[in-house]
Amino acid sequence: MTGLRKTMQIGSLAIRYDRAAAIGALILLAATGALAILALSIGGYPLGFNGLVAAVSGRLEGMDSLILLDVRLPRLAAAIISGLALGAAGALFQALLRNPLATPDILGFTAGAGCGAVAVAGAGGASAWLLTGALSGGIVAAAATFLFAYKGGLSVYRLVLVGVGMSFLFSGVTDYLLSRTDLLTAADAAKWLAGSINVQGWSGIAIPAALTLLMLPLVVWLQFLLDRMRLGDDMAVALGVPVNAARWLVALTGIALTAIAVSVAGPLPFVAFISGPIAKRFVGTGSATVIPASLVGAFVTVAADIAARNLLGFVQLPTGIFTALVGAPYFLALLFLRSKSGQI
């Protein structure tokens, strides 16, 4: 544990915070902000930095204003929201199960959430219900994965492998559902399943955005519980942490955040997985990493979305392709190093 916990006094309110994590989070915030400005200014219809300055001073009109306010900004918001949620969810599960491989995308929860959302879309449900479908699918997938991995105890590695199997099963169900819907819905859903941030205006992301922002304080609080639980269950109980209740709360929060992200951007692969380890590199191990991890998630997703929109000019690629291009090699490298050092 680091001895870098500081206490900030604001009136009668005392907030304990982790200095390394706070500094790291500020740097990540600045980096994400810079990336966001880039995301807003470039694209098939370039606005440039001047365009943004004009927008801030209220001098932006016509097409420029339409592009910025109704196209770029909602899309940027969607990328940030889904990245924040996935990064936080990944770091929560990594801390809960004490293993970098244990994230919602690897454990099959995102596949379950995607399946649930497709079921709702296929049944003709309005987009507001997508979140409900994603949440139900995510909970079912998580429950099934934990249930089938349980064998006189819970081995994280068995959990991970059962999660791989569950992903296959849920992708199969999704494929079946897609073959039952009309071709137009199926084509849309296929694009979304590849991880596409493709929002139409603000209506689709208002609720997910509000929910994510509401959950961030909860995530910070859970981080404190998880820090105590890292000392071992006995110690955590002695420190007054209701360990079992905390585990349930962490798992449910992680699943809810995953479902929110999936309902906005589809099952973006590997974002939840890479955010935690990168954040750890950044703020040092032993620090509170959930919030830095969520910022890394936002950074990665916005960067992937910029690449997806601009790299090939004439054709827009799903954002998920780029998160996979970054995440999968990272996963393979981690696996290689862990194998080499005999940890797996």
Partner 1 sequence: MSSVSAPNRPVLPLEIGHQGLIFAGILAMLAVLAFAALVIGTRYVPISDAIDAFLHYDPDNPDHIVIRLMRLPRLIAGVLVGAALAAAGALIQDMTRNPLADPGLLGVNAGASFGVVLAIWGLQMSDPGQFIWPALIGAGVAGFVVYTIGSAGSGSATPLRAILAGAALSALLFSLIKALLLVSRQSLDVYRFWIVGSLDGIGFDDITPLLPFFAVGFVAALAGARALDAILLGDDVARSLGVNLKLTRVWNTMTITCLCGGAVALAGPIGFVGLVVPHIARALFGVNTVGVVFFGALLGACLVLASDIVGRLVFAHDDLQVGVVIAFVGAPVLIWLIRRTRIMRQ
* Binding flag, residue 307, partner 1 (CB under 8 A): no
Beta-bridge mates of residue 7: 16
Token representation of residue 234: 């006995």
Distance CA 162, CA 289 (A): 27
- Report the residue from 6, 180, 230, 281 that binds partner 1 according to the rule CB under 8 A: 180
Q: 14 and 280 in contact (C-beta within 8 Å)?
A: no
Amino acid at 142: A
Q: Per-residue x/- mask for partner 1, residues 82 to 121, rule CB under 8 A?
A: -------------------x--------------------
Distance CA 254, CA 250 (A): 6
- Report the residue from 158, 198, 220, 237 that binds partner 1 according to the rule CB under 8 A: 158
Of 51-59, 164-172, 221-229, 279-287, the segment contacting partner 1 by CB under 8 A is 164-172
Work out how close the CB of 161 gets to partner 1 at its nearest, in angstroms, rounded to a whole number: 5
Q: How many CA atoms lie within 13 A of 266 on its CB side?
A: 21
Token representation of residue 309: 């929109």
Please report, as residue ranges, which positions from 221 to 280 form the binding site for partner 1 (by CB under 8 A): 269-270
Classify each residue of 323-342 as buried b or exposed e, where b means 16 or more C-beta atoms within 10 Å of its C-beta.
bbebbeeebeebeeeeeeee
**Torsions phi, psi for 341 (to 5 deg):** -90, 5
Work out how close the CB of 164 gets to partner 1 at its nearest, in angstroms, rounded to a whole number: 5
* Binding flag, residue 161, partner 1 (CB under 8 A): yes
Distances (CA, A) of 194 to 27, 102, 191, 214: 30, 21, 5, 27
Amino acid at 281: R
Residue closer to partner 1, measured from CB, 41 or 181: 181
Residue closer to partner 1, measured from CB, 131 or 149: 149
* Binding flag, residue 49, partner 1 (CB under 8 A): no
Of 17-25, 56-64, 153-161, 258-266, the segment contacting partner 1 by CB under 8 A is 153-161
Distance CA 91, CA 292 (A): 9
Please report, as residue ranges, which positions from 191 to 210 form the binding site for partner 1 (by CB under 8 A): 194
* Binding flag, residue 329, partner 1 (CB under 8 A): yes
Work out how close the CB of 123 gets to partner 1 at its nearest, in angstroms, rounded to a whole number: 16
* Binding flag, residue 315, partner 1 (CB under 8 A): yes
User: How many residues bind partner 1, per CB under 8 A?
Assistant: 46
Q: 178 and 186 in contact (C-beta within 8 Å)?
A: yes
Work out how close the CB of 325 gets to partner 1 at its nearest, in angstroms, rounded to a whole number: 6
- Report the residue from 37, 128, 143, 164 that binds partner 1 according to the rule CB under 8 A: 164
The C-alpha angle with vertex 61 and arms to 57 and 63, in degrees rounded to 5, equals 135
3-state secondary structure of 16: strand
Q: Binding residues for partner 1, per CB under 8 A? A: 101, 148-149, 151, 155, 157-158, 160-162, 164-166, 168-169, 171-172, 175-176, 178-180, 183, 186, 194, 269-270, 312, 315, 317-318, 320-321, 324-325, 328-329, 331-332, 335-336, 339-342, 344
